[in-house]
């Protein structure tokens, strides 16, 4: 086990070194193959099942299922917020988990949101990001989908924090994992339909959207501006932009 | 007959003038709040739109949203450094095809509107700023959806030049796809790819 961890860390370091501005996606050839495989599996199995799930189950039941899994995520989110040193937000997620577990019948009802406790949804990948671990190369995993080196390190830890990981009977555990996947997929049906409509190349689009979204999540929806050589400025803007950059206080390094 | 037509014409002109003047004085966040509120109300009041009537949705988008969007800037930033290499004719076609693609996407999203409300986040901008980030959240059932806008000041108010859904900026997302397409098959290649995409979607309904 220890050797496997060491190997993972080593390869992570190597891969991190590979992702540069010139080569944002060093694993692209392999990633594209896995992406195509995932797409095929999704079209053949996951999407049809999710469509049936959405069509057949009454929506209150669907909501209850997604609330139940969401509730366990809130507990894990609280742990991550504490790890990031954000104690007020962490306490708020503890309150969420407590309220929904006790008064929401083990989490099937989301009462905390009605009471004004907003969900934070932090995972271990975001915690690593807060700690300053670089993103590393983009990786597409079979079935699990888009990820990065950093998020992949977080992945096994995050998977420990699902309700089924405490269930010892394997049939129940597998059913729960299946239900969780289908429930998640059903929630994404309209979004994936949209991607089919607007993306010129689905692989590039999903990669870009994933990386942008993860970056935004690490900075809680407000990431600092990136240096952007390709950006088009309106003719009179460059001078003004330089001026405001000079007068603005330097962005805080995270 | 003729008189009543004149009266309505003058009334319309006055109304248009009034809204333009009002717009020039609004703060960018109030402006966004106003348009999104109007659009959501229009969808809620219209059964045909909720049922997915494409013509009705397009009419709504054309009337309420398009006047507030700077498509020229949105397209040129998405195309990035290749924009200068394109002929005026190519630029025009790129802009038209991109607009069709985006309008259709937006129209599709509008049919999903049910009981949502828009909530604005505090604006962090100085009154003299000409480019402002307006941040908002769509609240309904389930998780709130982050929706941010980059807006620029124009003569008669504000115009949107980039949109962010759930942390993903539209222009940045398309820039990678566009440059990939252009380096593979040129600007004309990108134009025909967009046109192809639009034709397929139109055939689908």
Which residue has better confidence, B106 or A133? Answer: A133
Query: How many degrees, rounded to 5, is the angle at CA A233 between CA A227 and CA A237?
Result: 105
Closest CB to B101: pick one of A121, A198, A212: A198
Which residue is closest to A60 within chain B, CA to CA?
A: B141
pLDDT at B25: 61
CA–CA distances in Å: residue B104 to residues A102, B101, B117: 45, 5, 22
pLDDT at A22: 57
Six token digits for residue B184: 């593979």
**Which of A66, A232, A242 should we substitute to test contact with B (largest number of B Cβ atoms within 10 Å)?**
A232
CA max distance for chain A: 67
pLDDT at A188: 83
Query: Touching check for B181 and chain A: CB below 8 Å?
Result: yes
Q: Do B80 and A216 touch (CB under 8 A)?
A: no
Percent of chain A with pLDDT over 90: 43
The per-residue pLDDT for range A124-136, each reduced to its tens digit, is: 999 999 999 999 9
Q: Over chain A, what is the mean pLDDT?
A: 80
Chain A residues with CB under 8 Å of B175 CB are: 230
pLDDT at A231: 45
Is B161:B154 a contact under the CB 8 Å cutoff? no
Instruction: Evaluate if residue A229 carries a pLDDT over 60.
Output: no
Q: Over chain B, what is the mean pLDDT?
A: 84
pLDDT at B152: 94
Q: What is the mean pLDDT of residues A88-116?
A: 91
User: Looking at beta carbons, which pairs linking A106-112 to residues 24 or more positions away fall under 8 Å?
Assistant: A106/A68, A106/A71, A107/A67, A107/A68, A107/A70, A107/A71, A107/A72, A108/A64, A108/A65, A108/A67, A108/A68, A109/A64, A109/A67, A110/A67, A110/A70, A110/A71, A112/A74
Instruction: Evaluate if residue B72 carries a pLDDT over 90.
Output: yes
Instruction: Evaluate if residue B84 carries a pLDDT over 90.
Output: yes
Residues contacting B202, CB < 8 A, separation 6+ = none
Is A107:A70 a contact under the CB 8 Å cutoff? yes
Which residue has better confidence, B40 or A224? Answer: B40
pLDDT at B114: 77
pLDDT at B6: 61
Q: Do A213 and B178 touch (CB under 8 A)?
A: no
Percent of chain B with pLDDT over 90: 37
Residues contacting B112, CB < 8 A, separation 6+ = A190
pLDDT at B89: 95
**How far is Cα A77 from Cα A91, in angstroms, rounded to an integer?**
10
The per-residue pLDDT for range A14-43, each reduced to its tens digit, is: 454 455 555 678 999 999 999 999 999 999
Instruction: Evaluate if residue A141 carries a pLDDT over 90.
Output: yes
Q: Please tell me the distance in Å from A219's CA to the nearest CA on chain B.
A: 10
Which residue has better confidence, A198 or A77? Answer: A77
Instruction: Evaluate if residue A230 carries a pLDDT over 90.
Output: no
Strand extents, DSSP E, chain A: 138-141, 145-148
Instruction: Evaluate if residue A233 carries a pLDDT over 80.
Output: no
pLDDT at B4: 60
Q: Is B148 exposed, middle or buried (0-12, 13-18, 19+ CB in 10 A)?
A: buried
The interface pTM score, or ipTM, of the predicted complex is 0.74
Instruction: Evaluate if residue A98 carries a pLDDT over 50.
Output: yes
The per-residue pLDDT for range A38-96, each reduced to its tens digit, is: 999 999 999 999 999 989 999 899 989 999 999 999 999 999 999 999 999 999 999 99
Which residue has better confidence, B100 or B202? Answer: B100
């Amino acid at each position: 086990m220890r050797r496997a961890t060491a190997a993972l860390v080593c390869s992570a370091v190597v891969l991190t070194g590979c992702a540069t501005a010139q080569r944002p996606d060093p694993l692209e050839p392999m990633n594209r193959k896995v992406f195509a495989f995932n797409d095929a599996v999704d079209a053949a199995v996951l999407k049809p099942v999710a469509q049936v799930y959405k069509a057949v189950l009454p929506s209150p039941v669907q909501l209850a299922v997604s609330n139940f899994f969401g509730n366990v995520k809130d507990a894990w989110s609280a742990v991550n917020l504490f790890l990031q040193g954000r104690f007020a937000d962490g306490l708020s997620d503890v309150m969420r988990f407590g309220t929904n577990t006790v008064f929401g019948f083990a989490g099937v009802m989301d009462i905390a949101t009605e009471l004004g406790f907003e969900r934070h949804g932090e995972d271990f990948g975001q915690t690593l990001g807060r700690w300053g671990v670089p993103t590393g190369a983009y990786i597409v995993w079979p079935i699990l989908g888009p990820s990065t080196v950093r998020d992949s390190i977080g992945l096994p830890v995050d998977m420990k924090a699902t309700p089924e990981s405490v269930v010892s009977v394997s049939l129940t555990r597998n059913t729960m994992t299946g239900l969780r996947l289908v429930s998640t997929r059903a929630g994404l049906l309209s979004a994936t339909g949209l991607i089919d409509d607007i993306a010129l190349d689905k692989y590039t689009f999903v990669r870009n959207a994933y990386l942008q979204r993860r970056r935004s999540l690490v900075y809680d929806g407000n990431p600092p501006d990136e240096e952007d050589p390709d950006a088009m400025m309106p003719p009179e803007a460059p001078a003004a932009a330089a001026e405001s950059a000079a007068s603005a206080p330097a962005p805080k390094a995270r | 007959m003729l008189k009543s037509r004149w009266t309505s014409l003058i009334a319309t002109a006055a109304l248009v003038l009034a809204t333009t003047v009002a717009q020039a004085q609004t703060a960018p966040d109030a402006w966004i709040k106003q348009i999104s509120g109007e659009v959501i109300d229009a969808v809620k009041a219209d059964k045909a739109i909720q049922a997915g009537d494409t013509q009705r949705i397009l009419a709504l988008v054309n009337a309420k949203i398009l006047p507030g969007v700077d498509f020229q800037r949105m397209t040129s930033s998405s195309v990035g450094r290749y924009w200068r290499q394109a002929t005026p004719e190519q630029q025009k076609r790129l802009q038209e095809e991109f607009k069709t693609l985006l309008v259709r996407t937006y129209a599709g999203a509008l049919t999903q509107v049910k009981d949502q409300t828009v909530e604005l986040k505090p604006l962090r901008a100085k009154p003299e700023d000409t480019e402002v980030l307006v941040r908002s959240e769509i609240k309904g059932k389930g998780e709130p959806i982050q929706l941010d806008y980059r807006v620029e000041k124009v003569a008669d108010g504000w115009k949107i030049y980039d949109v962010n859904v759930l942390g993903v900026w539209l222009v940045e997302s398309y820039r990678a796809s566009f440059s990939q397409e252009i380096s593979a098959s040129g600007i004309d290649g990108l134009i025909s790819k967009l046109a192809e995409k639009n034709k397929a979607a139109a055939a689908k309904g």
